[in-house]
Amino acid sequence: MAKLTFHGQSTFTLELNDGTRIVIDPWFDENPVADRTADEVGDLDYIFCTHGHFDHFADAISLAKRTGATLVSTFEIVSFAQTQGIENAHPMHIGGGFHFPFGYVKMTPALHGGQVAGDETGKFSTVPAGFLMNVDGQRLYHAGDTSLMMDMQLLNGQVDVALLPIGDNFTMGPDDAVRAVDFIEPKVVVPIHYNTFELIEQDPEEFRSKVGGRAKVEILQPGDTLQLG
């Protein structure tokens, strides 16, 4: 059974039945709520980045260099990573999917900003994204940073576990995230991108109450693990 571990903000590690280890949106070292540092992250096979903002990408390059993991993101982010010496990388883009050895991953739309942290030229600016990952018989949707979108209705019936931002200000707030649950109809929802700093303070229990019977809400603290399936 796959294991999903939360590390604060939007950062997760995913451990699959075949031993594959994945990190999504790695932000450890400057994350004030992270349960570990980047150096304390073990071996990795893949690094998935939804977009290039520092709180989703800050440790991607260093982790890729240390572990040899394959960096997966938009074409522009991968291109930037290659200028930083990253050799193992897989570019994707919105609406495209790929059959990796561990399962099928599709890149989904998100509405947010496109800056790539560390790119001093500005030429690698890109569009944000989410990931729909089919792994070990479970369908995991990491929404990335996004507003509520009508496109989320297209995910209806395709998601078992949804990782949805609730912080407001920079992303969906709790009320819009509840509407996203209505659109997607996942079995389980994990709130993300909240309470890392003052501007995105939210009460996850209030979010759980608003979701009601629509889905099971799993509130994870940094270091907590959720069994998928």
Q: What is the pLDDT of residues 86-97, one digit of tens each?
A: 999 999 999 999
User: How far, in Å, CA of 161 to CA of 191, rounded?
Assistant: 11
Q: Helices marked H in the chain — which ranges?
A: 54-57, 60-67, 75-83, 174-184, 204-211
pLDDT band at 122 (very low <50, low <70, confident <90, very high): confident
pLDDT of 26-83, one tens digit each? 999 999 999 999 999 999 999 999 999 999 999 999 999 999 999 999 999 999 999 9
Q: Which domains does the chain have, with CATH numbers?
A: 3-220 (3.60.15.10)
Calpha distance 140→160 (Å, rounded): 6
- The answer to whether residue 228 scores a pLDDT higher than 90 is yes
pTM here?
Answer: 0.97
The mean per-residue pLDDT over the stretch 129-143 comes to 98
User: Residue 171 has what pLDDT?
Assistant: 98
Residue 108 in this model has a pLDDT that exceeds 90: yes
